[in-house]
Amino acid sequence: MSKQPTHVCAPVGVTSAPVKSGPGRPRAYDEDKVLDAALQVFWRQGYEATSLDDLTAATGLSRSSFYAAFGSKQGVLMAALKNYSVSGLAQLQKLAELPGDQAPMAMLEALSLPKEGPRGCLMVNCIAELAPHQEDVAELGRKHLRKIEELFAKAISPDDPDAARDKACALSALAIGTLTLRKSGMPPEQVSQALQAAKGILST
């Protein structure tokens, strides 16, 4: 079995072939690396505090190349968030397939105790900062969280996921709540204690 990830929210670097920008003209940069660089800036500073200069400095793109590739700061955020969601959900899927009753707690711990510590989960950060006034972020966030609930339900009750929807919702809410506690500075040991409540949810 491969080593389990410590934080399923963290992006995974993907190496891809150059993306064509015109007939026979490959882009002179790796789009995945550019998106990861932009993602790290947003994750560290938040969306509103990130300037175009911050993004061009981090990605190494000129302003003209940046606008040609993504159109705007919002455009690169959405592209980075989509990559982030796909990578995180793929890792969570692997944990959901663990045997027996290991899967739900492994998923919960991976979501709730990120190796990045108080920086938390980028998706949750963006939902809190932007979803109230940016519908595209809100919609992507809803889809991401809904998929997490579906994976929890499948892990809890592989043969009848619909029967585990309420428990899956409770575990998802617990994961998001503990991420907020970590951002407030709560030590991981106390977060681990809070996660013990999940055992009661799963046993009912």
| 165 has pLDDT over 60 | yes
- For the residues 47-76, what does the mean pLDDT come to? 96
CB–CB of 35/69 below 8 Å?
Answer: no
| Percent of all residues in the chain with a pLDDT value above 70, rounded to a whole number | 85
**Per-residue pLDDT tens digits for 86-101:** 999 999 999 999 987 8
Q: What is the mean pLDDT of the chain?
A: 85
Fold of 31-203: Tetracycline Repressor; domain 2 (1.10.357)
Secondary structure (3-state) at 72: coil
Predicted TM-score of the model (pTM): 0.81
**How far apart, in whole angstroms, are the C-alpha atoms of residue 80 and residue 50?**
14
**How far apart, in whole angstroms, are the C-alpha atoms of residue 81 and residue 79?**
6
pLDDT band at 185 (very low <50, low <70, confident <90, very high): confident
**How far apart, in whole angstroms, are the C-alpha atoms of residue 63 and residue 70?**
10
**Per-residue pLDDT tens digits for 63-78:** 999 999 999 999 999 9
Secondary structure (3-state) at 26: strand
The radius of gyration of the chain from alpha carbons, rounded to an integer in Å, stands at 18
Secondary structure (3-state) at 20: strand
Lowest mean pLDDT, pick from 28-32, 148-152, 185-189: 28-32
Task: Give the count of beta carbons closer than 10 Å to the beta carbon of residue 74.
Answer: 14
Question: How many residues are there in the chain?
Answer: 204
**How far apart, in whole angstroms, are the C-alpha atoms of residue 143 and residue 131?**
13
Domain boundaries, the chain: 31-203
CB–CB of 52/67 below 8 Å?
Answer: no
